[in-house]
Structure 1
């Protein structure tokens, strides 16, 4: 999309508001000097009054209701986190990862600001950790922390990195952080090297098997809500779709036909809905995973867009355009 500078030869970034110098014959491929996102004449909607219930996935809501129905779950989780130590999370990353600030990795900091201002969330701390696993996560309770793995940033475009950051900010906006932190700690403690550690034994003592199973089942479904949050920030379903495609194909994704990948996602959803055996195996296999299948996540985003709910929210009374 061609961009039209003002008479001073500048264009304001629709995401972060930065004024950028650009030539009148710009092709639309120019990028903001601050957040590194594409410059465009299209408006970018903000949702300062967004209610989480307007976008939270029904599967997330049902699983969370089932989790909260377990007697003593909140007090048990808080006790568990007190034993494992929320402060340890911050110490670990301050000591072993790069702390993103306005002066350190400023484009990532700007993307964090974009995600937070779009969803109406206070800025958490952001870190980049050297890790070959393509992933990101949010932890903490009182003071949330977002961590991006270096391999993820190296593999994704700027728009896709924004989608990932927005997904993690979505966990904060949707008030997932208490339960999510406990779920991620349980997943870490399932590691063979930690299985016999005192902390792992404490988790078994404090949290019943029912609590642990319900918590991990909910955590997978919470990801579906945050994919929707990512879409509300990027405001382009293809950005979210391509991000998830790279989770499937890795470096091979550059050779994958994106439209065929979307067809694959629709086929998966159709078979899941219509064939009991497909649904059985998908549910059984995914029960051992920390996240839903990437193709499944794409199909759920497509379903949300096709339903018209995303468009209604994007054009609703709570959406505004920054001047």
Structure 2
């Protein structure tokens, strides 16, 4: 039986950041036009629009409102040593969660009701931790730009639109890289790789009616099988398929978190913080 979770007080993003995320972020920061888009799309008007949209159309989670969900967020923030953002629940039939962070405004997470219905509490905390990973790694502003670019493109000048299209393509490539880091943040909070795999399995093909029949071990085996397909045509098809997406394929994410959960880097991280806090080491529940 797993013990209580290890708080990672003093945790730095560099300690768990995926190398392809780091490389992609460094490339993104050097793109011409990015600063201009930040100023254009994330000004005071955008801040007010997002604030009014959420406070007017969603439910703000707090100790008095959806307290169990609030407690999951509070614990995740404590483990990742991160200031707690606002959390909103929004009525939407598409399972999803996303993070928005604008300059000068408190960041916030939005969770769709259909996602809450799909996941159990540990899985939901893994999703919240994933979103917190974006904030821990300061992904928030770039994520917000990526979400706004499609809507803003039609309102820009032809020159601005051309810049926006190019940046959108590169931003979405960066988002796919950043997701691997944030899955690691989810694992650092759940401290159970099977919980992360279960989230990805349900996002790939789950529903409340199928939950009792889903098998996490079988999905992990599926992810490993996908990884073993390694010939030229398959690799080309994998690349083309992934390039169309805003997120990496669920099996790819499951494969990556499966690998990292067994890595010396992850094990050492938990052992170090367990020793620093005199906390009993929480072993994986495999």
Report if TM-score (shorter chain) is over 0.5: yes
Q: Is residue 231 of structure 2 the alignment partner of residue 255 of structure 1?
A: no
Distance 1:89 1:207, change over 3 A: farther
1:313 correspondence with 2:274: no
Deviation string 1:272-305 (CA, Å, 9 cap, x unpaired) is: xx32322221221221211111111000101112
> 2 CA distance for matches of 1:255 and 1:135?
22
Deviation at 1:177, TM superposition (A): 0.4
Distance 1:254 1:248 in 2: 16
CA distance in 2, matches of 1:316, 1:276: 41
- Which structure 2 residues correspond to residues 68-217 of structure 1 after superposition, within 5 A? 68-82=29-43, 85-141=46-102, 142-186=105-149, 189=151, 196=154, 198=155, 204-205=160-161, 207-217=163-173
The separation in 2 between residues aligned to 1:283 and 1:220, in whole angstroms, is 12
C-alpha change, 1:212 and 1:149, in structure 2 (3 Å) is same
Please name the residue that 1:239 is paired with.
195
Q: Which of 24, 27, 36 pairs up with 1:63?
A: 24
In the alignment, structure 2 segments of 5+ residues that lack a partner are 281-286
Higher relative contact order (CA 8 A, sep 6+): 2
Q: Please identify, of 58-67 and 226-235, the stretch whose mean Cα deviation from structure 2 is larger.
A: 58-67
Contact kept, 8 Å, 2:97 with 2:127, in 1: the verdict is: yes
Which segment drifts farther, 310-319 or 254-263?
310-319
The CA deviation string for residues 127-154 of structure 1, in whole angstroms up to 9 with x for no partner, is: 0000010110000224111000000011
RMSD: 2.3
- Three-state SS of the structure 1 residue aligned to 2:110 is strand
The alignment of Structure 1 onto Structure 2 pairs a total of residues equal to: 275
Distance in 2, Cα, partners of 1:100 & 1:322? 30
1 or 2, which has the higher helix percentage? Answer: 2
* Bigger CA radius of gyration: 1
Could you tell me how far apart the structure 1 residues matched to 2:186 and 2:128 are?
8
- The answer to whether the 8 Å contact 1:100/1:128 transfers is yes
- The two structures have a TM-score, normalised by structure 1, of 0.79
Contact 1:80–1:207 at 8 Å: present in 2 too? no
Residues in 1 aligned to 2:48 and 2:159: alpha-carbon distance in whole angstroms: 17
* 1:151 to 1:102, Cα distance in 2 relative to 1, 3 A: same
Distance in 2 between residues matched to 1:205 and 1:195, nearest whole Å: 5
Q: 1:8: which partner in 2?
A: none
Flag the 1:294–1:203 CA change in 2: closer, same or farther, 3 A: farther
Relative to the length of structure 2, the TM-score reads 0.88
Q: What displacement does 1:307 show?
A: 2.5
